[in-house]
Structure 1
Amino acid sequence: MIDLFQKAKLYKDRTAVVSHGNNYTYQQLLVQSSVVAANLLNNSPDLNEARIAFLVPPSFEYTAVQWGIWAAGGIAVPLCVQHPLPAMEYVIKDSGAKVILVHKDFQDVLEPLKANADLFIIPLMEIFKEKSSALPDLLPNRRAMMLYTSGTTNKPKGVVTTHGIIQSQITTLVNAWEWEKEDYILNILPLHHVHGIINVLSCALWSGACCEFHTKFDAEKVWRVLLSGKMTLFMAVPTIYYKLIAFWESQNKENQMEMSEAASKLRLMVSGSAALPVPVLIKWKSITGQTLLERYGMTEIGMGLSNSYRSERRPGYVGLPLPGVELRLVDKDNNIVDEDVPGEIQIKGPCVFREYWQKEEATRKAFTEDGWFITGDVAMFHNGMYKILGRDSVDIIKSGGYKISALEIEDVLRMHNDINDSAVIGVEDEEWGEIVAACLVSNKKSLDFDEISKWLKTRLPAYKIPRKYILQDKLPRNVLGKVTKNELKPLF
């Protein structure tokens, strides 16, 4: 991460972070992160990859703590401020972190952990006390960060990346999306995940750009920043775009025109972390003139594929592999599949993670013998671009010999006038293996499921039509807006 610090020195007087209404320069970030590092080292020469957990909301303080851990030679383990205590305890225990840095707003949350004599829970004010120290040299292969998988299919695993891997993930996106020092981005994403940490914060700071933090998503406040005219890029998850559309629709015509005009001036808007429903993409384009750029990534690889910054962005597709990323689609026997045939995505490249923390067997199983990372996601190469069909264990329904993409059915269901949202899963069935089942969200108190099936038959083949339906007020989602489909199965 030496290069990130070195680059910051080139932009000393530029604003790096806007947080709680205050502007912080790159020089202030460098100074404060050095203070954090010195306090963590506490007169020792090197943290030697000690795991340092931290519970800090998105802010200048978060950034200085993250950089400080790196500068001291530690492994940064960010905790999610929206997670309940048991989820945080799992990460702390699994990572082996003995030191936890905590913001004053969350000290009460961690109070029960103080009974554990092995843990050192340090308030931020202590770690920001004036102190200086010599800092260790950092080589690219030094472990730097541990992010935990979302755990939608099994227990979360600690994904370890090195300084070199992080740098690869950053520079790939900086080049592909043409980041510049004049850029200004708003960060409203959780900072325990690659989307907020790498795609937004780290790419901005690598480029000499400015990152403004909002600790919580508020549609009105986001539109306010858009209306200010200072933002040049925006990145979010699909549910946020859905909420921004709803807020726009609640305004009068004059306000709508102003908002649309402001959003149209951004040079790039990106959607990720969950599949973007095509109706949301179409509606956003009709409001702002912006075609959201979809990309594909995961905790283990950063970003792997992206629609083009300069040319075609095809709805429902994630474009082509980013520079330096190798990709292949294979069948269950690891044979490369033909065009228009679904296959599992396997990835190679300098962006791929180093290991699952202290899980040798899981790490070994995550790679083929010749070094390809097995993503577990299924895609198809069609007409020059890749289309994600879903996660093999969650979104690919195996019914009567067919492999059916749940994401495809969900997109079609959302086009129905009475359906606001949908989640499709496979339910075990003795005769068919699995049958297609759909959970629907609607403004109406009841829906005619037979009518919906008839409507679907004009748009999908018969074997893709759901055999079971339920109506719910909302879909269960994690903090990144991804539907937690295992919670739906008991409802059927």
Structure 2
Amino acid sequence: MTIERPWLAHYPAGVPAEIDVDEFPSIPSVLEGAIRNFRDRPAFSNLGKTLTYAEIDELSKQFAAYLLGELKLKKGDRVAIMMPNCLQYPIATFGVLRAGLTVVNTNPMYTARELRHQLVDSGTSAILVLDNFAKTVQDVVADTQVRQVITTGLGDMVGFPKGAIVNFVLKHVKKMVPDHDIPGAVRFRDTLALGRKHALPDVSITPEDIAFLQYTGGTTGVAKGAMLTHRNLVANMQQASAWLGSNVKVGEEVIVTALPLYHIFALTANGLVFMKYGAKNLLITNPRDMPAFVKELKSNRFTAITGVNTLFNGLLNTPGFDEIDFSPLHMTLGGGMAVQRAVAERWKQATGVTLVEAYGLTETSPAACINPMNLAEYNGSIGLPVPSTEACIKDEEGNALPVGEVGELCIRGPQVMKGYWQRPEETAAAIDADGWLHTGDMAKMDEQGFFYIVDRKKDMILVSGFNVYPNEVEDVVAMMPGVLEVAAVGVPDERSGEAVKLVIVKKDPALTAEQVKAHARENLTGYKQPKIVEFRDELPKTNVGKILRRELRDAS
């Protein structure tokens, strides 16, 4: 099916219609180019410590040599990384990729149930985890194929004495490191020393090799791994950098990375795209601590920032934000969830920079549409399809719909995933025979080729840019003996865009909302936990007994 591409006529000056997907065969080849061009430039900064591109080169090689030389991992084996933004993250990620292995990004806030599923499903061989979350790994590692656990403290790469102080305070003062004991676990710093004993072999990495197994929820409620190849990620880096074009000053950018690198948005947009420009990534470990985040922004001259609506909204409402020097800032990119007009307008007023909205999915590595970077004002659109990307609106029968009509947004391009890991049926349901990825988002296109999200086809709930699938939440709550029936829906929330609301029919009249929330806390990551619990005598259903979630949402 060939489609019209009206958006090309509205591309900013200098943005090409197509990108060269074959310029780089892999992510390591892009990294090696950055190392050659920007050796002595700062690459990543966290907790006051900065590593240059040359240091990232050396340390990631050591970690790669450890994985291959000591652990004897084979090409394509999976290595999980479970930590917030810190210096170990880029070292480990680039190390895994340079070794020809696959990164399994793992949310450190996972419960034991969620982590067990991901490690077993992916067949992970080794996991690197921050001490704060090692107890969860200890609880599940025996049930998995994991052969080696690597642990690290937040301050381990910060240097002496500050690193030692950070680790001491976290464990003994803030009590944020639960006691754990994992037999045979190795410290991250020791893996680097062991790696130095081995020469890193010349690993052949092809564009079709899987770089990341990026887990995303499913309509079934079971997280599944999107297979993102080196070609997918390189294509998206090329697309994004073509789009940014002359807006970026090579070797001068400082980008604030507050979204976690285990989230596909920050991983690609900040960690990979800006590496190509020799930018410095300012890693924020805990952006939820808004006063500390604002303090960090005050002490760094930053040129770009990415985030989700809740992040920008939080910053705007934190004392001291208005005292930051925004004169170097020239780029703000919002994605992961809908940007609210009120937030975008306040951002522009406070910083003088337009909050440019983009749209993507885990399955598209992630960028599919971005607004022009020279956008004067927020426009409510998700933007234009990026170079080498086709987008269309389809009806239920798979026919392309004309301008202005609402249907399912479908995307086709080199950034679309290979498929879901070991789930051929789900892959076939998501990507049709013509290569179109069906996003599940309802949208429309205007005459100029700008796309607008109208609603979601699925019942997915979007909390601060993270997908919450009602089936998963319902399955967990339904395990409670006192629950007869349960439905989970998303309700508007000023802080997180949406929040999870549970509507429950009781089996045990004594069941309380607090008991339900306590059970959810044990089994679900924070953003999946219900904020509101309502009890009813019955749930609205179709004549075949399917719960009408939409009716519950509309009643909220």
- TMscore range, shorter length: 0.7 to 0.9
Aligned positions of 1:463-474 closer than 5 A:
none
Instruction: Give the C-alpha shift of residue 135 in structure 1.
Output: 3.4
Q: In the alignment, what sits opposite 2:109? A: 82
After superposition, the C-alpha distances for 1:294-323 in whole angstroms (9 at most, x for unaligned) are 011000001000110124554321111011
Aligned counterpart for 1:280 among listed residues 309, 332, 343: 343
Supply the AA of the counterpart residue of 2:191: I
Q: Structure 2: how far apart are the matches of 1:484 and 1:77?
A: 27
Q: TM-score, normalised by structure 1?
A: 0.77
| Contact in 2 for aligned 1:153/1:393 (Cα 8 Å) | no
Q: Structure 1: how far apart are the matches of 2:314 and 2:404?
A: 34
Q: In the alignment, what sits opposite 2:140? A: 113
Q: In the alignment, what sits opposite 2:416? A: 352
| Contact in 2 for aligned 1:270/1:294 (Cα 8 Å) | yes
Asked whether 1:149 is paired with 2:216, we answer yes
* Structure 1 unaligned blocks of 5 or more: 396-405, 408-424, 426-436, 444-475
Aligned counterpart for 1:4 among listed residues 23, 30, 36: 30
Q: In the alignment, what sits opposite 1:422? A: none
Instruction: Give the C-alpha shift of residue 481 in structure 1.
Output: 7.2
SS at match of 1:17: strand
Q: In the alignment, what sits opposite 2:367? A: 303
Instruction: Give the C-alpha shift of residue 211 in structure 1.
Output: 0.4
Q: In the alignment, what sits opposite 1:390? A: 455
Q: In the alignment, what sits opposite 1:215? A: 285
Q: Structure 2: how far apart are the matches of 1:176 and 1:138?
A: 27
Aligned positions of 1:198-347 closer than 5 A:
198-217=268-287, 218-228=289-299, 230-248=301-319, 256=322, 258-259=323-324, 262-263=325-326, 265-301=328-364, 302-347=366-411
After superposition, the C-alpha distances for 1:210-238 in whole angstroms (9 at most, x for unaligned) are 00112111322333343335200000111
Supply the AA of the counterpart residue of 1:211: N
SS at match of 1:280: helix
Q: Structure 1: how far apart are the matches of 2:125 and 2:283?
A: 28
Structure-2 change in CA distance of 1:241 and 1:331 (3 Å): same
Structure-2 change in CA distance of 1:269 and 1:367 (3 Å): same
Structure-2 change in CA distance of 1:337 and 1:102 (3 Å): same
* Structure 2 unaligned blocks of 5 or more: 1-26, 151-187, 463-469, 471-488, 496-519, 535-548
Q: Structure 2: how far apart are the matches of 1:229 and 1:53?
A: 31
Q: Structure 1: how far apart are the matches of 2:526 and 2:268?
A: 15
Q: Structure 2: how far apart are the matches of 1:318 and 1:189?
A: 19
SS at match of 2:317: helix
SS at match of 1:189: coil
Report sequence identity in percent.
26
Give RMSD over aligned pairs.
3.2
Q: TM-score, normalised by structure 2?
A: 0.69
Instruction: Give the C-alpha shift of residue 12 in structure 1.
Output: 1.2
Instruction: Give the C-alpha shift of residue 366 in structure 1.
Output: 1.3
Structure-2 change in CA distance of 1:442 and 1:125 (3 Å): closer
Aligned counterpart for 1:28 among listed residues 55, 59, 72: 55
Q: Structure 2: how far apart are the matches of 1:46 and 1:100?
A: 12
Q: In the alignment, what sits opposite 2:130? A: 103
Q: Structure 2: how far apart are the matches of 1:181 and 1:374?
A: 38
| Contact in 1 for aligned 2:217/2:223 (Cα 8 Å) | yes
SS at match of 2:368: strand
Q: Structure 1: how far apart are the matches of 2:235 and 2:526?
A: 23
After superposition, the C-alpha distances for 1:261-311 in whole angstroms (9 at most, x for unaligned) are x23541101111011111211222222222200011000001000110124
| Contact in 2 for aligned 1:190/1:480 (Cα 8 Å) | no
Supply the AA of the counterpart residue of 1:277: Q
Supply the AA of the counterpart residue of 1:175: A
SS at match of 1:300: helix
Supply the AA of the counterpart residue of 1:353: M
| Contact in 1 for aligned 2:119/2:144 (Cα 8 Å) | no
After superposition, the C-alpha distances for 1:130-170 in whole angstroms (9 at most, x for unaligned) are 33321312121211111111447632110011111111111
Q: Structure 2: how far apart are the matches of 1:282 and 1:354?
A: 38
SS at match of 1:158: strand
Q: In the alignment, what sits opposite 2:228? A: 161
Q: Name the stretch that deviates more: 71-80 or 125-134.
A: 125-134
Q: Structure 2: how far apart are the matches of 1:167 and 1:442?
A: 36
Structure-2 change in CA distance of 1:283 and 1:479 (3 Å): farther
Supply the AA of the counterpart residue of 2:278: G
| Contact in 1 for aligned 2:126/2:147 (Cα 8 Å) | yes
Supply the AA of the counterpart residue of 2:440: G
After superposition, the C-alpha distances for 1:48-96 in whole angstroms (9 at most, x for unaligned) are 2011112233122111111111111111002111222221111101111
Supply the AA of the counterpart residue of 2:362: T
Instruction: Give the C-alpha shift of residue 172 in structure 1.
Output: 1.2
SS at match of 2:363: coil
Instruction: Give the C-alpha shift of residue 479 in structure 1.
Output: 7.8
Q: In the alignment, what sits opposite 1:419? A: none
| Contact in 2 for aligned 1:16/1:208 (Cα 8 Å) | yes
Q: Structure 2: how far apart are the matches of 1:176 and 1:277?
A: 23
> Relative contact order (C-alpha < 8 Å, sep 6+): which is higher?
2
Structure-2 change in CA distance of 1:117 and 1:379 (3 Å): closer
Q: Structure 2: how far apart are the matches of 1:372 and 1:484?
A: 34
Instruction: Give the C-alpha shift of residue 365 in structure 1.
Output: 1.6
| Contact in 2 for aligned 1:238/1:481 (Cα 8 Å) | no
Structure-2 change in CA distance of 1:227 and 1:117 (3 Å): closer
Supply the AA of the counterpart residue of 1:331: D
Aligned counterpart for 1:56 among listed residues 68, 71, 83: 83
Q: In the alignment, what sits opposite 1:433? A: none
